[in-house]
Amino acid sequence: MYKILEKKIKDRTAVVGVIGMGYVGLPLAVELGREGFTVIGIDINPHKISLINSGKSDIDDVKDEDLKPLVKSGKIKATSDFSALKKADCVPICVPTPLSKTKDPDVSYILAAVNEVQKYLHPGQLVILESTTYPGTTEELILPILEETGLKVGKDFFLAFSPERVDPGNAKYGTKNTPRVVGGTTPLCTQIAKLFYEQTMTQAVAVSSTKSAEMVKLLENTFRSVNIGLVNEVALMCDRLKIDVWEIIDAANTKPFGFMPFYPGPGLGGHCIPIDPHYLSWKLKSLNYYARFIELAGDINSHMPEYVVDRISRALNERKKSLKGSKILVLGVAYKRDIRDVRESPALDVIKLLQNAGAEVKYTDPHVPSIRMDDSVMKSVKLTKELLHSSDCVAIVTDHTAFDYDSVVQNARLIMDTRNATKNVKQNRDKIVKL
């Protein structure tokens, strides 16, 4: 089975069934298609299926002009029919792994996908989980389900974990040139999964097990979460000390060794950094270990939207105005610069907190035409000089490059800058309040 699959992968005749056509699955499908593989994209969202089959992308990192020729040539086809897995030799699973309201891992999407894979599992098939999860998921949850078929891992089929490392909007590193970490349930599983990724990625790095590969991703994002939590706390300290946290970070960054700059912000967003560390923390609780750094960083980061609103309130009070009844314009609701992704965006929390405090809130974002707030929908408003001037405070929550910050500062009465976006603006700096 190994030799047959190895040959198919090397000569690009292996059919790849990618489960989940979102921020991870669609870019992967495009890279595979570019390298000559035939890709079947499976997703339960009919709108997404229709969109992909028409050659259109709803993902920032996949352009229509890259997807369309692959669809037209038959290299990529999307479907909601899992029976298409009968034809698949390699099956990357790229489904969401959110947290529940109690911050427990929700692996229901993984289990739903694996139960479908089980129905069509056949000898010589490679199954790879890419969804971020807690250490032990692949061996403890997925392997038993697949072996219920009577097929044996490492002999009849192959199972591995390879964490996605996509950074939406990153102009330098994408799916292709970001090294892949791969761990299999057996040495042969690792070997064949590594070979699979080497066909499309610039580098694949093997580790000793699926559990190790799962831990690698959690370490990466816990590292970022903890350091962002640290610098957010430093921002709170600098507020009390009446000094500029951005100046402090820039000065510290002149040290050529022993320091890596992280920057404060209105909170964490995206699918990875606010969520992944809690997968590790949850797993460790089952082993009677309390992950103190993770919990502390999570607490600090999750309360940053409250701090932003408090800072806006104080700035308005200094100008003899109450937050209640004030007109607040939020600039940017995507979770990071120059993308349309609002998953876990702190801007949504900032807006809700402002509304709860009685403020009249509008937002503008060139990448996000509308957002859902509980049971209602807010639409982005056009950014004009008149709108800026009529707002009691303009809160820069996402520092999109499309915004003209000189114009914002010139025409706004008060600016709450949570991203240091106005650092190069020379005039009217007395209007600016920084995080």
Taken in order of first residue, the domains within the chain and their CATH numbers are: 2-208 (3.40.50.720), 303-434 (3.40.50.720)
What pLDDT, on a 0 to 100 scale, did the predictor assign at position 102?
Answer: 75
Q: What is the pLDDT of residues 265-275, one digit of tens each?
A: 999 998 788 88
**Phi and psi angles of residue 327, each rounded to the nearest 5 degrees, phi first:** -95, 115
Across the range 80-99, mean pLDDT stands at: 96
In angstroms, what CA-CA distances link 115 with 38, 222, 233, 310? 23, 30, 44, 47
**Interacting residues of 352 by C-beta distance below 8 A, sequence separation 6+:** 373, 374
Q: Is the pLDDT of residue 209 over 90?
A: yes
CA atoms of 140 and 207, how far apart (whole Å): 18
* pLDDT score of 244: 96
| Rounded average pLDDT over 345-373 | 97
Report d(CA 218, CA 280) in Å as an integer: 7
In angstroms, rounded to a whole number, what is the distance separating the alpha carbons of residues 215 and 208?
A: 11
Q: Which H helix or E strand runs over 378?
A: strand 376-379
Instruction: Give the pTM.
Output: 0.92
CA distances from 396 to 243, 273, 332, 419 (A): 20, 21, 7, 7
Residue 241 pLDDT greater than 90, yes or no: yes
User: Is pLDDT above 80 for 411?
Assistant: yes
CB burial class (10 A; 0-12, 13-18, 19+) of residue 73? exposed
Q: Distance of CA 368 to CAs 39, 360, 412, Å?
A: 30, 20, 22
Q: How much is the pLDDT for 63? A: 95
Concerning whether 393 is annotated as a catalytic residue, the answer is no
* Measured distance CA(66)–CA(169) in Å, rounded: 16
Exposed e or buried b per residue across 213-244, where buried means at least 16 C-beta atoms within 10 angstroms of its C-beta: bbbbbbebbbebbbebbbbbbbbbebbeeeeb
Catalytic residue among 90, 94, 272, 393: 272
Statement: residue 8 has pLDDT above 90 = yes
